[in-house]
Structure 1
């Protein structure tokens, strides 16, 4: 496992920014970092996403790991890496994107749902995969696919909240991606970045509380 993935396994959270303005993105990133978030994913279907990635890298340096999300093809992957993305997250499996990430030394977490997709992505070179949308199936699904595929690190995204995040980690996820439930667009549009910081702190607290009461996740 790479250093970046080890750090993600320790942090356990990726905050996902989507559908906000460049100015809002900067303030949101600041609020997330203040709330304790270390991994930030900026989706490429957000206006000004590449500039957000470049600026966040410059602003936070080693304090945050900045990645690009919704990377659907090779051209988008190239743009993301050029902007400074340290990792790439996709909703789908694109082997050209995985190959490019490997060549550039950039981790790629392709989006998967079925055991076949998970194995194909891993065999194509992805060191970890995203299982999405996990909320449609729940923790029992994750437990079932982790049985024969426990050697493949899986991040879960879609439907994660403070009530269930530790359940997914306990079921075998090594990390979780959080979009609107953390990066609340309504609060962002109102300029209420304290709410974003508070939500970040609440997620981190939920994980720590789970670890204290349930032992280390696996």
Structure 2
């Protein structure tokens, strides 16, 4: 089985499930998968996060990878591992969290916005870093980072949507974490799963076209 970082590099889009009720989890993931998005990040600021991760890892779709996001503490990491998370993501750089991820042997994407944080994460051994919030920084920021930083791989999250995802792709971003633009709260509340599938399919097609251009 391919390593999760290679899967991320290939599939490009990670759906960020922020505070989604566990009762809607399976329907949301099925809708995303129907549109071609099979990388799922369940944020740990959801009281039901561990339960949701555990349930989603039992999906009959073997191609779905479920990870934990908004990992702020070592307890979050431990809970994520116990629930079966395939990877973990943080919005910030914390050497203690990095050390804990190594101890727990979970693929970990630390947050790293500044050049100093990216360099620190890279020296520690990070394969990928999450630049957050990417939207306010703009794709030009990613392009400039790519000058001195050929590695690690860059995941951009925060403000990514259909109108700007190609800008970030062309700027050198490797992976895209997409939340509200892919998973409108009202669509989830009212069960408009086809709308989520359509949004997923649009993003997947955009990225595929951008890679071929």
Question: What's 1:119 paired with?
Answer: 119
Structure 2: how far apart are the matches of 1:89 and 1:109? 5
Find the residue that maps to 1:62 and give its secondary structure. Answer: coil
Q: Structure 1, residues 175-216: CA drift from partner, whole Å, max 9, x if none?
A: 11001000111110111111111110010011122223x2xx
Find the residue that maps to 2:62 and give its secondary structure. Answer: helix
User: Which runs of 5 or more structure 2 residues have no equivalent in the other structure?
Assistant: none
Question: What's 2:8 paired with?
Answer: 8
Task: Tell me the C-alpha RMSD between the 2 structures.
Answer: 1.4
Structure 1: how far apart are the matches of 2:30 and 2:197? 9
Within 5 Å, give how 1:42-53 maps onto structure 2.
42-53=42-53
Find the residue that maps to 1:136 and give its secondary structure. Answer: helix
Question: What's 1:89 paired with?
Answer: 89
Structure 2: how far apart are the matches of 1:203 and 1:89? 21
Deviates more, 1:152-161 or 1:93-102: 93-102
Within 5 Å, give how 1:1-218 maps onto structure 2.
3-60=3-60, 62-212=62-212, 214=213
| Paired residues of 2:156 and 2:175 also in contact (CA < 8 A) | yes
Structure 2: how far apart are the matches of 1:62 and 1:31? 15
Structure 2: how far apart are the matches of 1:125 and 1:74? 18
| Paired residues of 2:169 and 2:210 also in contact (CA < 8 A) | no
* 4+ runs deviating over 4 angstroms: none
How many residues of Structure 1 are paired with residues of Structure 2 in the alignment?
212
User: Which runs of 5 or more structure 1 residues have no equivalent in the other structure?
Assistant: none
Residues 166 and 24 of structure 1, relative CA distance in 2, 3 Å threshold: same
Q: TM-score, normalized by length of structure 1?
A: 0.93
Structure 2: how far apart are the matches of 1:30 and 1:62? 12
Structure 1: how far apart are the matches of 2:108 and 2:94? 10
Q: TM-score, normalized by length of structure 2?
A: 0.95
Deviates more, 1:30-39 or 1:103-112: 103-112
Structure 1: how far apart are the matches of 2:42 and 2:125? 23
Structure 1: how far apart are the matches of 2:13 and 2:185? 18
Structure 2: how far apart are the matches of 1:20 and 1:128? 26
Structure 1: how far apart are the matches of 2:63 and 2:71? 23
